[in-house]
Amino acid sequence: MSQTIFLSTVTGEFGTVRRKLAAMFGKTKRIHVRHQDDFEDGGVRTLHMLEEEVEASDSVLHLIGNTAGWVPRQDQVEEFLTRQPTFAQRFPDIAATARKGELSATQWEAWLAISFNKRLMTYRLQTPGAVKSSQDRHVAQLKAFGVHPKEVADLTEFLESVIHNLAKIYGLSDGEMTKLCHLPYAPLGELFIGRDDTLQQLWNAAEPCFAANAGKAWPKHVLFGMGGIGKTRLAVEYGYRREADYSAVLFATAESEEQLKTSLANLVGALVPDFPADNKSRDDQYRAVLQWLKHNPGWLLILDNADDEKARDAVQALEAHCRNGHLLVTAKFIEWKPTFKPLEVHVLSGADSRDYLLKATDANRTKKADEAKPLDALLGELNGLCVSLETAASVISGDELSFAAYLADWRSNKDRVHTRVVDALSDYQKHKADGVSHSIATTFMTSFQRLTAPAKRLFRALAWLSPEPIPVTFLEVWKKFDEDADAARKQLRKYSLLLRPTDRDAAIGQVHRVYQLMGREEGDQAERDTGLR
């Protein structure tokens, strides 16, 4: 049975180590990790939400540093204390501190854990050069209540202690802690809807290969269908769901032979830890990864977007090196060697599309008594395409719209879509479905028109980058030219124009290829040129 741990740390001081822990324990099937990053990017950081997060967790891991972090607004504090009167009765000193505006959100997390009788693991790390009065008071208050944070000298000692303690508590093995899962973005969880049959087909083909001395050839699958239909998401979700079964879950871009080689070469650090650090040769790194694939059994390798004949030929040329694991390719066409089994990915059914939109927007949309009719009309416009459904849900939820309000906005944007955008998208699709390209373009435009000018500038620039996850160094450079870069990034993420990455220390996100194409074509010539400057 899985356990949920809430990681309680100040983002500015410990955001990096928090994400490392989240990634490490996220590799296991027995620990689900939550932390402030899960709702900060949406611009919502409320005390009520912290309360819900802690109450829903089994344990809270609380790291106390030198800085206390942001403080909830006083109206939120009073609302909580009014709604939870026993808190002030049980912790009068803490309630008094909170009423004075001196209890930070991270400090609240510890006291909420105690209040809800959660397992609380506390650590105190001290480094020179910062004001500590608030944190010193916090530690004194914890000790007065019988909670004594463990002193650690540095983050290395902290990580070692946490890993040791949690591995002991939850019975985790070294293998579970170190298994490699290299996927570009986080799973959808219960919002991944309507693909159960395909998931089962993939596993039915792979499962017999794990048996001892099975002697069966590992499967090679091609998920094919038009752009925006959800092929990559399907492959990624399969990887997450079967992560415990494979020895490693790997992902590489296969849009061209060059990208395929580069993307595979980039895996060398994770797969071949003793590869010489000073060897920067892409060809040597690529060959080392191929050797790893050849000699290590039981992996899953997803090769994404092999969408033309040259890309297909480059993937098929890898076959000799990929006999020891499951190869899963995404592409737009069906013409492959007989050893590659094609599985067509269809649009979501009307029932699954409805289920997705209702679930994805349930917490934040403005609900109307007569919302069934506009919902049905919106579903008809979106055509069951996953990229459109996800983007529409983000706008509805992010801006707290009703289905009727979004539908009206969507329809008002139909005429704003440039013909060249639709034509370019139709050529990219390699699939002349009536109205599909215009539908995707209108959904994109409905999000794009809501962006601030800095967010539009950033998106146009991102549209010209490689489809790989975008490194954080790009945003650091962009900040030198646009001081609104962070706010722009958050807005793109809010409207699902920038997918949230798995490794936030390395990447700011990833833009869907369909939206990259439209970002290059959208606007007049002067506006399009801004993405190239």
- Tell me the per-residue pLDDT of 287-297, one tens digit each, with 9 for 90 and over: 999 999 998 88
Residue 110's pLDDT is what? 94
In order of 177, 325, 443, 456, 518, the CA distances from 395 in angstroms are 37, 40, 10, 16, 18
Q: What is the mean pLDDT of the chain?
A: 85
d(CA 177, CA 121): 19
pTM for this prediction = 0.67
Listed in sequence order, the residues at least 6 apart from 149 whose beta carbon sits closer than 8 Å to its beta carbon are 62, 64, 122, 123, 124, 139, 142
Count other C-beta atoms under 10 Å from residue 316's C-beta: 16
Listed in sequence order, the residues at least 6 apart from 428 whose beta carbon sits closer than 8 Å to its beta carbon are 227, 513, 514, 517
Listed in sequence order, the residues at least 6 apart from 436 whose beta carbon sits closer than 8 Å to its beta carbon are 226, 383, 385, 429
Q: Are 127 and 133 in contact (CB under 8 A)?
A: no
Q: Are 331 and 312 in contact (CB under 8 A)?
A: yes
Termini Cα distance of the chain: 52
Report for 103-117, 425-439, 473-487, 517-531: range of highest mean pLDDT: 103-117
Q: Are 232 and 304 in contact (CB under 8 A)?
A: yes
Q: What does the radius of gyration of the chain's CA atoms come to, in whole angstroms? A: 25
- Residue 12: name the closest of 61, 67, 73 by CA: 67
- Residue 38: name the closest of 1, 71, 7 by CA: 7
Phi, psi dihedrals of residue 313, rounded to the nearest 5°: -65, -35
Q: How many angstroms from the chain centroid is the CA of residue 383?
A: 24
d(CA 514, CA 387): 9
Does the pLDDT of residue 43 top 50, yes or no? no
Decide: helix, strand or coil at residue 180. strand
Residue 39's pLDDT is what? 57
Residue 73 sits at the vertex; the CA angle it makes with 71 and 74, to the nearest 5 degrees, is 115
d(CA 9, CA 18): 7
d(CA 389, CA 379): 8
Phi, psi dihedrals of residue 510, rounded to the nearest 5°: -150, 140
pLDDT digits (tens, 9 = 90+) for 348-388: 999 999 999 999 999 899 999 889 999 999 999 998 989 99
Residue 41's pLDDT is what? 46
